[in-house]
Amino acid sequence: MPKELEKYEFTPDQQREIEEGVEAGLEISVYARPEYLALQMRQIRLGMMEGLDVSVYADPAYDWFQMEQLRKGLSYDIDVSPYASPRIPYDKMRQVRKGLHFGIDISPYLQYSAGILREIRRGMRYEVDLLPYAEKGYTDEELEQIRLAKMSGVDLDPYLEKGLRGVSLEQIREGIRSGVDVSVYAREDYSWRQMREIRLGLEKQLDISQYANPYYSYRQMQEIRLGLESGLPVENYSRLRFSTTDMRQKRLQLMEEMARQEKNDGQDGALGAVLMRPSKEEQEQKPKEDAFELVFTPDDMEVYLMMREEGASVTQEEILSALWSSKVRKGILRKEIAAIADGTNKNRNVLVACGQPPKAGEDGWYEFFFRTDVNGTPKVLEDGSVDYQNVEWFDTVQEGDKLAFYHNAENGTDGYTVRGEVLHARRGKEKGVLIGFGFSLQPDKRTYISTTDGWVNQYDNHLEVNSKLEVEETTLATGNIVFNGSVHVRGNVGSQTEIHAQGDILVDGFVEAAILESGGNVVLRQGMNGAGSGSVRAAGNVSGRFFESANIHAGGRIEANYCMNCELESQDHIEILGNLVGGRAYAVKGITVQNLGNRAAVASYVRVGINDEILEEYKQLGETVDSIGEELTLLRNAREDFEKKYPAEQRNEMEVYSKVKDAIFTKETQYTEAAQKRDDLAQEMKKISAACIVVKGRVYEGVLAEVNGRRWISRFMLNITIRRTTDERIAVYKN
């Protein structure tokens, strides 16, 4: 501590900030003043270390959160004057700063809350004008749903005047997006949780009339919905008088009964007719109890007659009377009884009554009117290469084509026990509605019609029709292509041309030194010779017959017959069915190749595992956790200082003390979230660490392989796997 400052009484945290400033060679007089909390000192010191003009905020009138927003703005060369005022709360400052970062100035609207400012800012960035709605008094939660609806083309306006909160509007927005009839639940007397249960039921195509009643709690609705999804007879427990706990118990009991019944389904033995009531004489005639006995299975589904003595005689009337006395009412096997009585069946153990297991109804199913077997899997030829030319990558549809029809689930057939107890059959399970884009659901809620020409893709409950642009070729004469959909080039793509598509890109011919960017997959039936300047960048997979002197970047897989002198980067796998020669190839999850390098020992570099971006992200998360931890320590120490210096009644009236307490809560939440993200990434990195390089054929000299940061220089070998061992070494295994 400098001598000139010893006259002041600084806390240990303040002293530490001053000492760190001295060590860094800063002009500490700017902030080495008792009126600054250690947290304020820290923001000034950090700004000085970044070379910023801290005079903008080196004022005790700013709290440390306000200082932080001004410091961050200055660090990004933002003109902070629109929000450089101690009268502007830090959370509003943050929204103005984030807007200015993208050239958006929302400072004229500071009369609104920080939450509303956030939505105005986000709306302006995506050209959604929320100001008319803010002027009408909608909250930030409601504005968020309005913004998301407008960005996705959903008309939410008809439901804004019904007094519904943001969380309720979210359920309506999700329902409209899924194509269900939201008018069923878009009512003020439903809570948002009740709305969610009804929406989920509609999306699963369930009979929501069984629980669409505002008098049910959302948990009761959930129990009925889950029962309907399982095909249970929910009428057995869907009464308002049942509590949620009662409903859950009854639902689980029904599920156990159904499972037990279905397990017993398919037992052998013909089923008889309903057992008729014996005549008065038959009832009065007592059976010979010493001749036989009746044995019931635990589930009352079968009754066996067991003779006590071999060769003993018994009449049909005696058996029928015994069955009736034992309350057997259904499933009598009269032929078997007659055979016992006339001596035809001499077995001592005979099935004489059998119940009927319930038969579950057929599940709902979709009938598709396009080819669903088009999976884009190339055919492997006899020489080991892949035929990309004749692969069917997509099926195409036209606007107005019928895409799918939903066949509802069917009711099952009830069964019964021998005592006449009804065994309720499980109704077939309904499938959820199809979600996606490029189609409309017809009023019957079962028929799906294409709304555009394009490529159709279906997986799980998703249906997508990508609008398609078809061209013969692209050259300097035809110009570049920018399209909000998929692009199909029937011919070649010439040098110095560009294709930018939000959907997939399919090229039938050759690709020269062009630039292709896709929000989906890229398929080159012939291949690409990029001449060192051509590139392909896709959010999904990239595949082609060959790649030469090209830069290929894929968010998914990269697949080809052979690659030469390319820069390959995949966030998934790289699979080369032939030769990978020269250049650099990197894949997060692994590389599989037939031959690596060549006889001429052309330098080739292959790398798998954790990349610099992942390491940097992990480092940044670690630094964030540490930084928040340090701030938490300062805040807690400040709280302790206030509690030591001032009595409760005095400090509770101090605005700065309230800010410290609020900040502790906020920072604790941020710390937990950041630590969780760091831990999740660590788990993902652990999985990635298992990545390896598999060579099915030859590895030549001249190859440098790197696995999770460890390098291996090749020698000629056959059929190997290169991986990193648990003790941080590179190991090479024969396949």
Does residue 98 surpass a pLDDT of 70?
yes
422 and 315 housed in the same domain: no
Start-to-end Cα distance in the chain: 66
Q: Are 586 and 568 in contact (CB under 8 A)?
A: yes
Q: Cα 321 vs. chain centroid, distance in angstroms?
A: 63
The two tokens of residue 734 are 């024969």
Q: How far apart are CA 631 and CA 674, in angstroms?
A: 14
53 and 18 housed in the same domain: yes
- At 343 the pLDDT is 86
Does residue 733 surpass a pLDDT of 50?
yes
* DSSP strand pairing (486-489 vs 510-511): unpaired
Q: Are 21 and 28 in contact (CB under 8 A)?
A: yes
Q: What is the CA radius of gyration of the chain?
A: 37
What type of residue sits at position 486?
Answer: S
Q: What mean pLDDT do residues 573-588 have?
A: 94
Does residue 287 surpass a pLDDT of 60?
no
- At 384 the pLDDT is 63
Q: Give the CA angle between residues 437, 440, 445 to the nearest 5°.
A: 125
594 and 494 housed in the same domain: yes
408 and 474 housed in the same domain: no
For residues 345 and 171, the model is more confident at 171
Could you report the per-residue pLDDT of 130-145, keeping only the tens digit for each? 999 999 999 999 999 9
Residue with tokens 């990029």: 530
Q: Which of 467, 640, 703, 662 is nearest to 64 (CA)?
A: 662
pTM: 0.67
597 and 623 housed in the same domain: no
What type of residue sits at position 42?
Answer: R
- At 272 the pLDDT is 38
Burial 174-183 (b: 16+ CB within 10 A, else e): bbbbbbbebe
Is 663 among the domain residues? yes
Of the residues 306, 335, 354, which one is the last residue of a structural domain? Answer: 354
Q: How far apart are CA 375 and CA 519, in angstroms?
A: 19
72 and 201 housed in the same domain: yes
Q: How far apart are CA 11 and CA 23, in angstroms?
A: 18
What type of residue sits at position 233?
Answer: P
- At 5 the pLDDT is 74
Q: Are 47 and 59 in contact (CB under 8 A)?
A: no
Q: How far apart are CA 158 and CA 160, in angstroms?
A: 6
- At 454 the pLDDT is 83
- Give residue 386's pLDDT band: very low, low, confident or very high (50, 70, 90): low
Q: What mean pLDDT do residues 277-301 have?
A: 67
* DSSP strand pairing (447-450 vs 402-407): antiparallel
Contacts of 72 (CB under 8 A, 6+ apart): 97
113 and 84 housed in the same domain: yes
- At 379 the pLDDT is 67
**Cα–Cα distances in angstroms (integers) from residue 383 to residues 380, 525, 577, 593, 694, in the given order:** 8, 18, 10, 15, 20
Burial 406-439 (b: 16+ CB within 10 A, else e): beebeebeebbbbbeeebbbbbbbbbbbbbbebb
Of the residues 431, 459, 487, which one is the last residue of a structural domain? Answer: 459
**Cα–Cα distances in angstroms (integers) from residue 527 to residues 220, 386, 388, 512, 523, in the given order:** 58, 12, 9, 9, 9
Q: Which of 199, 259, 266 is nearest to 232 (CA)?
A: 259
413 and 516 housed in the same domain: no
Of all residues in the chain, the percent with pLDDT exceeding 70 is: 92
Is 229 among the domain residues? no
DSSP state, 413? B
Question: Count of domains in the chain?
Answer: 5
Domain that holds residue 638: 614-688
Could you report the per-residue pLDDT of 519-543, keeping only the tens digit for each? 999 999 999 999 999 999 999 999 9
545 and 496 housed in the same domain: yes
For residues 673 and 478, the model is more confident at 673
User: At 537, is the secondary structure helix, strand, or coil?
Assistant: strand
Is 264 among the domain residues? no
For residues 611 and 694, the model is more confident at 694
Provide the CB-side half-sphere exposure for 63 (13 A, CA).
16
Could you report the per-residue pLDDT of 605-649, keeping only the tens digit for each? 999 998 777 888 999 999 999 999 998 999 999 898 888 888 888
Is 435 among the domain residues? yes
- At 419 the pLDDT is 93
Is 186 among the domain residues? yes
- Give residue 18's pLDDT band: very low, low, confident or very high (50, 70, 90): very high
The two tokens of residue 590 are 């692994």
Q: What mean pLDDT do residues 473-486 have?
A: 88
200 and 340 housed in the same domain: no
Could you report the per-residue pLDDT of 236-258, keeping only the tens digit for each? 899 999 999 999 999 999 888 87
Q: Are 713 and 699 in contact (CB under 8 A)?
A: no
Q: Are 624 and 674 in contact (CB under 8 A)?
A: yes
Is 564 among the domain residues? yes
- Give residue 286's pLDDT band: very low, low, confident or very high (50, 70, 90): very low
Q: How far apart are CA 92 and CA 129, in angstroms?
A: 19
Q: Are 613 and 635 in contact (CB under 8 A)?
A: no
Is 268 among the domain residues? no
Q: Which of 569, 622, 623 is nearest to 591 (CA)?
A: 569
- Asked which of 187-191, 320-324, 440-444, 452-456 is least confident by mean pLDDT, the reply is 452-456
Of all residues in the chain, the percent with pLDDT exceeding 90 is: 63
Could you report the per-residue pLDDT of 640-683, keeping only the tens digit for each? 888 888 888 888 888 888 888 888 998 999 999 999 999 999 99
Give the other-Cβ count within 10 Å of 223's Cβ. Answer: 27
Of the residues 293, 319, 354, which one is the last residue of a structural domain? Answer: 354
589 and 704 housed in the same domain: yes
DSSP state, 36? S
Could you report the per-residue pLDDT of 108-131, keeping only the tens digit for each? 999 999 999 999 999 999 899 999
Q: What mean pLDDT do residues 496-504 have?
A: 92
- Give residue 275's pLDDT band: very low, low, confident or very high (50, 70, 90): very low
Q: Are 279 and 327 in contact (CB under 8 A)?
A: no
Q: How far apart are CA 735 and CA 733, in angstroms?
A: 6
Phi, psi values for residue 425, rounded to 5°: -85, 145
For residues 220 and 483, the model is more confident at 220
What type of residue sits at position 605?
Answer: Y
Q: Are 34 and 10 in contact (CB under 8 A)?
A: yes
- At 391 the pLDDT is 59
Is 188 among the domain residues? yes
Q: What mean pLDDT do residues 563-591 have?
A: 95
Does residue 273 surpass a pLDDT of 70?
no
571 and 648 housed in the same domain: no
- At 535 the pLDDT is 96
Does residue 83 surpass a pLDDT of 90?
yes
